[in-house]
Structure 1
């Protein structure tokens, strides 16, 4: 049968299949791009800037994109296509913008000054385990034996890489790891708090508003500490910051959101496992960080644990 004589059911299946593969690619590529922010940040540190400058430029350059999406959402509210936010929802967004994209990012980039990009990505990948533990405390959810195994595998993997980095770099690894750990916990709290809100206002509006609010916190902090003089940096800092803002922030944020719409949250989460693996090789390529057997074993443990958690409905 020729393509021009396909049945409606066949055409629907073809469209559904195409949508799935588009979502599959978006989730995988989005995870790699988002994880690569650690490599870009480390490259930027080579020009003598600090964590606040890196996150400040990141949010300054990505803010216009999120503001445009926010204005589009406000336009839809005025046309009564979507409901207006309540005062409580606005207050929650202000809190989420502080916790999820300001505090978590600041702690992450401070930590990156002291530890390798590979270790940073593994620690951040513990966020699902923190979500599980915090959900047990605040939402009274039960942890099943299978999930305890996943937790043990994840923490064992991070411990292996941590102690190797500690032997290479000294006590600063402990400080950097604590900062990144704080980032992972902060982001886990953000995920828990945003779970109910996203059902009410939608993922596009939540991300655009929360990122815009986070940018205000970040830029206020940046200008208070460094003033307008902080905007004067070497040309490579501007170039890397544009890459950081567009390729490692704006694009992956929406790519992963679009992927969830096409393949679901579970599949997107499993494809997110590409992130820590890609960072090992990207860090080796761009930063000349060694890939050791301990790193590979540790990464395998973390991925195994995350795989178990992502498959848990």
Structure 2
């Protein structure tokens, strides 16, 4: 691969990872305007749905129709991987720091490994156990640090962490479910369809649980939601896919490890969240564990 192509691919992957990680910081800013997770995610999907719907329509017009079984699978994957996962994630962000949220979500590959071992009876070797142990030691370290100094108290931090853990598990299930379908349907088509299903579910949830008057919000809420929908959702999805196409999934995944670090420092710069030696050390352990798993794979 030419050096220029590698650098361009890495730049796209890093940019996508940073933008996607910025979602947590934007959500924290939105919560300062006293909106809840249901309203936040509805606005996020409201701004991103037109783009994903356009891509889905284009794919419907240019490619062969999906079978009935594939349609149901994509609907289920969209509900689990994007609707439920996103809802749990934003619920958790009401209680914990953006840095801890990003670290927990970064454990998704470990959940994929554990689910593969328990459900599909895939053997986990000593190397993988060591990588898992390293990552979870880092999470425990940062969690205990936030437990002692979190603004929401120990109960709030524990609740938020459980929500985000649930989000990561849901996304791991989504990844396991899409493995074979990506080869048959195509990644762009799969993501576009799944995001349309998720968006409709999020909007239906809002209209069922909240009064329609909550759609009227101050201008900063619309501006931040636009950033959340466009720059923290649409751009990262397509940038990650472009990076994988240029440099491969393994290298793109390695470049994506900048995400948790960028969230930690963006949380400090934008939200005033502290960055301590304990957090940096815990983040290093998590990244090291995930890096070992990626290299092994």
Deviations 1:202-258 (A, max 9, x none): 000001000011001000001111132121111110000000001100000010011
Structure 2, unmatched stretches of 5+, are: none
Q: How many residues align?
A: 294
Distance (whole Å) between structure 2 residues aligned to residue 231 and residue 223 of structure 1: 10
Q: Aligned runs of 1:126-165 on 2, under 5 Å?
A: 126-165=107-146
The structural deviation recorded for 1:154 is: 0.6
Distance (whole Å) between structure 2 residues aligned to residue 157 and residue 39 of structure 1: 21
Deviations 1:11-36 (A, max 9, x none): xx6xx443322211111110010011
- Name the residue aligned to 2:187: 203
Q: Aligned runs of 1:131-280 on 2, under 5 Å?
A: 131-169=112-150, 170=153, 171-280=155-264
Structure 2 residue matching 1:70: 3-state secondary structure: helix
Distance (whole Å) between structure 1 residues aligned to residue 10 and residue 120 of structure 2: 31
The structural deviation recorded for 1:311 is: 1.1
Distance (whole Å) between structure 2 residues aligned to residue 275 and residue 147 of structure 1: 22
- Name the residue aligned to 1:32: 18
Distance (whole Å) between structure 1 residues aligned to residue 9 and residue 58 of structure 2: 23
The structural deviation recorded for 1:305 is: 0.4
Q: Does 1:118 align with 2:99?
A: yes
Structure 1, unmatched stretches of 5+, are: 1-12, 78-82
Structure 2 residue matching 1:311: 3-state secondary structure: helix
Distance (whole Å) between structure 1 residues aligned to residue 99 and residue 29 of structure 2: 14
Contact 1:55–1:109 (Cα < 8 Å) also in 2? yes
The structural deviation recorded for 1:138 is: 2.2
Q: TM-score, normalised by structure 2?
A: 0.97
Deviations 1:147-183 (A, max 9, x none): 1111001100010110111111321100000000000
- Name the residue aligned to 2:286: 302
Contact 1:155–1:302 (Cα < 8 Å) also in 2? yes
Distance (whole Å) between structure 1 residues aligned to residue 26 and residue 164 of structure 2: 16
Contact 1:223–1:230 (Cα < 8 Å) also in 2? no
Task: Identify the match of residue 63 of structure 1 among 49, 55, 62.
Answer: 49
Q: What is the RMSD computed on CA atoms of the aligned residues?
A: 1.0
Distance (whole Å) between structure 2 residues aligned to residue 213 and residue 164 of structure 1: 38
Distance (whole Å) between structure 1 residues aligned to residue 175 and residue 207 of structure 2: 28
Distance (whole Å) between structure 1 residues aligned to residue 235 and residue 43 of structure 2: 16
Q: TM-score, normalised by structure 1?
A: 0.92
Distance (whole Å) between structure 2 residues aligned to residue 275 and residue 159 of structure 1: 19
- Name the residue aligned to 2:78: 97
Deviations 1:95-144 (A, max 9, x none): 01100110000000000000000010111111110000001122221111
